[in-house]
Amino acid sequence: MAMKVAINGFGTIGKRVADAVAAQADMEIVGVTKTGPSFGCELAVRRGFPLYYTSDDAGRVAAFSEGGYECAGGLSELLAAADVVVDCSPGKMGAENLTKYRKAGVKAVFQGGEPHALTGLSYSSSANHDANLGADATRVVSCNTTGLSRTLVPLWETCRSLAVECTMIRRAADPGDLGKGPINAIKPVLNVPSHHGPDLMTVKPEIRINSLAVAVPTTIMHVHAITADQPAGHGLTTESIIEIWRRQPRVIVMKGAENRLTSTAEVMEMARDIGRKWGDLHEIFVWEDGVSLQGDRLYYFQAIHQESDVIPENIDAIRALMGTESDWRASVARTDAAISAYYNL
Ligand code: NAD
């Protein structure tokens, strides 16, 4: 029987997770929540996802029909129909929501805007699927941390020791965000080190890592500039490291100069050509000509589509909590094949 999945918060991440869930043969969407009858409800209606209100206020539920949308009820009613909820509310609402999920006896997947301490457990498919098997609640790490995990975990598995420094060059806002910036400045995060690198240690504590972060006026991607120190006698070469990433799911390695993919603008244009909805790029993009191992120190750049790299991880996290697939590679293969079939790719 298909796992019944609720989506609480149908915004940037929520609408994407809902589509990815609907693409899976072993999962079904039992409903998605909105805070009111806004244009975002239209997408849920078109996809045939039952609409619920984010809380239980009867007056607010009724307001949906006044706005022309059928609302199936409040959050409690949605939770009663679900096995697992994916919380895609704006960050820092997790504590209040977790209480509701526990009361309803529903498992929960949170997003990276929540602190690790909320659940005491975080998730990244290649890093710690096993540790999440059968758990009641977890947190899929942020888009940046997911990117770090995709390329650093396979490297750590090869050499068993890594000391990493990275600078996160972050997009200022998502394309649909109003009121975030900067629009004409480069803004350093004056909390040093930034939380991004150390957050990787919530899923892979063996990797020693620190980070700095700056926000820049772009909406389409983050870029990471990374140095990773390998242990002496590692036996790796630039080429063998590239080969490791070529074999890693959800990582794309391409030559920037040769393929005319020298910037995030061109990488996102390629993503739009791939044909996923919203022009999404689930994979982490590594510039092959930006990779260089010099002695024990590896240098590389990677780009992250912040709105979509965590989407397939949410699907794997659901399987981990529900205990239906213990092998992370099998889950990843299944998730990605179903998403590809859904988009006719
Ligand atoms: P968003 O603002 O685009 O969407 C949040 C949605 O939740 C909105 O539709 C909002 O109306 C709704 N909402 C408001 N109050 C709610 C409540 N009480 N209960 C349920 N829903 C409520 O935000 P987002 O970008 O989708 O971010 C969601 C989470 O995902 C955050 O934790 C964020 O940090 C994380 N995340 C975001 C990105 C990104 O780049 N956008 C990437 C990775 C992780």
pLDDT in tens, 48-58: 999 999 999 99
Q: Which of 51, 56, 111, 282 to mutate to test the pocket of ligand 1 (most atoms within 8 A of CB)?
A: 111
Q: What is the pLDDT of residue 20?
A: 98
Phi and psi at residue 174, to the nearest 5°: -75, 155
pLDDT, tens digit, 9 for 90 and up, residues 231-284? 999 999 999 999 999 999 999 999 999 999 999 999 999 999 999 999 999 999
Pocket test for ligand 1, best of 89, 93, 314 (most atoms within 8 A of CB): 89
Centroid of ligand 1 to alpha carbon of 15 (angstroms):
10
Mean pLDDT, range 174-188, rounded to an integer:
96
Question: What does the buried/exposed string (b/e) look like for 90-116 if buried means 16 or more CB atoms within 10 Å of the residue's CB?
Answer: eeebbeebbebbeebebbbbbbbbbbb
> What pLDDT, on a 0 to 100 scale, did the predictor assign at position 246?
98
Between the CA of 287 and the centroid of ligand 1 the distance, in Å, is 30
Question: At 314, is the pLDDT very low, low, confident or very high (cuts 50, 70, 90)?
Answer: very high
Mean pLDDT, range 302-329, rounded to an integer: 98
Ligand 1 site: residues with CB under 6 angstroms?
8-14, 33, 35, 54, 88-91, 93, 111-114, 142-143, 174, 306-307, 310
Atom 39 of ligand 1: nearest residue by CA position: 307
What average pLDDT does range 95-113 have in this prediction? 98
- Calculate how far, in angstroms, residue 339's C-alpha sits from the geometric centre of ligand 1: 22
CA distance 23 to 47: 11
88, 148, 219, 280: which to mutate for ligand 1, most atoms within 8 A of CB? Answer: 88
What pLDDT does residue 280 have?
98
Q: What is the pLDDT of residue 267?
A: 98
Q: What are phi and psi of 31, to 5 degrees?
A: 170, 160
Cα of 246 vs centre of ligand 1, distance in Å, is 32
pLDDT of res. 14: 98
pTM of the complete model: 0.98
E strand map for the chain? 3-8, 27-34, 51-53, 84-87, 107-110, 122-123, 137-140, 163-171, 187-188, 208-216, 222-229, 251-254, 284-287, 292-294, 297-304
143 is catalytic: yes
Mean per-residue pLDDT over the chain, rounded = 97
Looking at ligand 1, which residue's alpha carbon is closest to its atom 38?
Answer: 307
CB 87 within 8 A of CB 317: no
Catalytic residue among 88, 143, 159, 166: 143
Count of other CB atoms within 10 angstroms of residue 134: 10
